[in-house]
Amino acid sequence: MKGVLLAGGTGSRLYPLTRITNKHLLPIYDRPMIAYAVDALVQAGISEIMVVTGGTHAGEFLRLLSNGEEHGVDRLLYAYQERPGGIAEALGLAERFVGDDPVLVMLADNVFGRSIQDTVNRFAEQAKGARIVLASVLEPEHLRHLGVPELAPDGRVVRIVEKPEDPPSQYCVTGVYCYDPSVFEVIATLVPSRRGELEITDVNNHFIEAGAMAYDVTEGFWGDAGESIDAYYTVNDHVRRFGANLP
């Protein structure tokens, strides 16, 4: 399985911290944010990784991560997203790198308390389709800013709704997605949303409609450090006290 870390975006929700750097280079406790995403993939057995970034600070990732050897990465490549065109567009830049292999995509501002190894193992057994990771969120006002799955009585995902006024469940879709290579055929058919971006929710809903979507619910902590200043410091506090990517 290949790994793709998405580390682009303008980081506007963390302004002014991001005025002079990419948000994924900001510190989480004692390391740059992206280091936790790299570790999450390596600890899950993924040692071939592409980092997709953009903006004026893209070269800093090369300075930080180099060839990945210090982080346990066997093969580390980089891709440049020229403009903020959405998560699905950023993933599309990794098509030649991924080839015919399955791929795990991770938003590099997501931090998990527990390892994502089980998800990787289950997707390997699944072989085809897609697999996402959900997290329980108890506050409806928080869910209104996230992608929320609607679940059938038997537990299947019926659809994913972006930023719903009336959340259909108490779960959100985190920034970890597993796909078979057909994901790039799906991306090629997408139409930009009203934001002018290719949306990863449209990709996930395609697999749901095809009956090829599975999911896990993460145990323990999950945080999106790029969601807001408050969320950024919540993730910092958790990692400082308890660590991240624990077995």
Q: What is the pLDDT of residues 50-108, one digit of tens each?
A: 999 998 889 999 999 999 999 999 999 999 998 888 999 999 999 999 999 999 999 99
Question: Are the beta carbons of 44 and 50 closer than 8 angstroms?
Answer: no
**β-strands 130-136, 110-112: how paired?**
unpaired
Check whether 224 has a pLDDT greater than 90: yes
Fold adopted by 2-242: Spore Coat Polysaccharide Biosynthesis Protein SpsA; Chain A (3.90.550)
- Beta-bridged to residue 110, according to DSSP, are 224
Mean pLDDT of 105-113: 98
Please give, one letter per residue, the 3-state secondary structure of 20-81. CCCHHHCEECCEEHHHHHHHHHHHCCCCEEEEEEECCCCHHHHHHHCCCHHHCCCEEEEEEE
Q: Binning pLDDT at 50, 70 and 90, where does residue 127 land?
A: confident
Q: What is the pTM of this model?
A: 0.96
Please give the pLDDT value at position 75: 97
Q: What percent of the chain has pLDDT over 70?
A: 100
**β-strands 48-54, 2-6: how paired?**
parallel
Strand, coil or helix: what is 183?
Answer: helix
Lowest mean pLDDT across 7-11, 35-39, 199-203: 7-11
Strand, coil or helix: what is 142?
Answer: helix
Please give the pLDDT value at position 122: 97
Please give the pLDDT value at position 84: 81
Q: How far is CA 151 from CA 67, 158, 161, 163, 214, in A?
A: 41, 5, 11, 16, 12
Tokens of 212: 């090829």
